Structures are given as C-alpha cells and as structure tokens.
Amino acid sequence: MVINYVFVFLLGTCIGSFLNVCIFRIPEKRTVIAGSSYCCACGQKLNFLDMVPILSYLFLKGRCRYCGARLSIQYPLVELLSGVMFLLIFIKHGFGLSSLMLGVFVSILIIAAVIDIHHRIIPDGLVVVGLLAGIPLTVFQSTDKLVNGVIGFFTAGIIMLVIAVVSKGGMGGGDIKLSALMGLYLGWQGVFLALFISFFFGGMTGIYLLLSGRKGRKDPVPFGPFLALGAVLAALWGNELLAWYFGLWG
C-alpha cells in the first residue's frame, strides 16, 4: 500500500511539472504538447536533470544551472501541490474512473487558479478541455451522474451570471465558465457547496485586504483560486463538511 502511495504522489508531481508548462504557455497562446523546455532568462534548453519535479529546484538552490538566474518558486509549489492532491484523491477513491475524473478536474483547477493570479484571466480553452474530458468521463460512470452534472453545469453558470449582472462586472466571464465546469464535475449539490465555500473564503480574504489597506474597494482580486479551493473541498470532503455543518445545528 505504501508503494502505491509513493507511486501516486510521484506521478502527481510529474503531472504538476506539465501543469507548470501549461500555466506559462497557455496565456501566451503557445502549444503545450510540443517544444522543449528552456530557461526563460538565458534560453538554454533544459535536460532531464534540470526538470526532476521538486528535487531539481532544491539541488539547484532555486537557480538556473546555466546562467544562475533565480527560478520561480511556483515550479516546486505547483509540483508539490499536484502530488499532494493526487495522493488525496487516491486515498479517497483508490484507482478507478472517479479518481481519473477528479485528477483531470484538479489539474484544470490548479492551472486556472495560478493563471488567474498572474494574469487575471481564466482561458476559455481550459474550460473547453475540461468539458471535452469531463463529459465522457461522466457518461462512463452512470447516466444519473451525467444528468446531475448537466444540471450542475447550467445551475452554477446561471447563478454566477446573475451575480455578474447584479454586481455590474464584479464577477468575470472566466469565473462564470469555470463555475459551470465545476457544476459538471461536482453535480448540482456539490457545486452549491463549492460556491458557498468559495464566497466565504473570498469574502473573508477581501475583508482582510480592505482592513489591512492592501487593497482598495475597486481593486480587483482574482476569484479563480477561491473557486478552485471550494471545488477541491467539495469534491474530496463534501459529505463530511455537510454533516459537520448540519451537526452544528443539531
């Protein structure tokens, strides 16, 4: 069993390395399936030893082997996060379609969240890929899951669209599309919980930023990371969170 855990974690870190490629290339409208990785500072092509997830960053002390430029801490953080998430999914669901579907979903959420932090956008292509992968993965599990997902897709999308209209642009189009995608993967019950969690943590963070003076009332705050957080918590521990919440009220 321990070997399985180690394998899944390492697999997750390798996938995280690919997610880093997507995070950097997608906003630049570059392909993510072709082309060698290279140092952004000196342009030197990287070899295998430069790209071992997490370990290369540690051994190189966060600097390029060739020019000495400082490497972004994002590289090992995304790899570590991906590894941990895949391990949690495996612990919760084992090997199977559910884990595969959640692995795809979490990967998309990580990419969307980090791109939103850097660029304040959630690329349409990312949502399209999520749909193309999510629909067949849902169909293969059961018809009921597909119906639940379709209802969740439109319910979440409409809710976020109404919020965007009422707030007069306070919610971006990318947030609306990502929320709809969350509905497909989580179903309508799960996406309600995910949105509640997202708005709770987003609201608490917004209040903190305002009170601390780090943001003004009109300063934008990317909401994608909060959507991703809510979706992950709902996907992995939705039933437990609901049981805990209702338990508070007896």
Please answer whether residues 234 and 191 qualify as being in contact, where contact means their C-beta atoms are separated by less than 8 angstroms. yes
Structure tokens, 198: 């997202």
The pLDDT tens digits of the residues spanning 206-234 come to 899 888 878 877 778 899 999 999 999 99
Q: What is the pLDDT of residue 214?
A: 81
pLDDT value for 67: 86
Say if residue 211 is exposed, middle or buried (CB neighbours under 10 Å; 0-12, 13-18, 19+): exposed
What confidence score (pLDDT) does residue 4 get?
92
Domain boundaries, the chain: 1-95, 123-250
- Closest by CA to 197, choosing from 229, 166, 225, is 229
Q: Which residues of the chain have pLDDT under 70?
A: 250
Of the candidates 188, 176, 124, 177, the one whose C-alpha atom is nearest the C-alpha of residue 150 is 188
> Which pLDDT value is given to residue 55?
93
Contacts of 109 (CB under 8 A, 6+ apart): 227, 228, 231, 232
Q: What is the pTM of this model?
A: 0.94
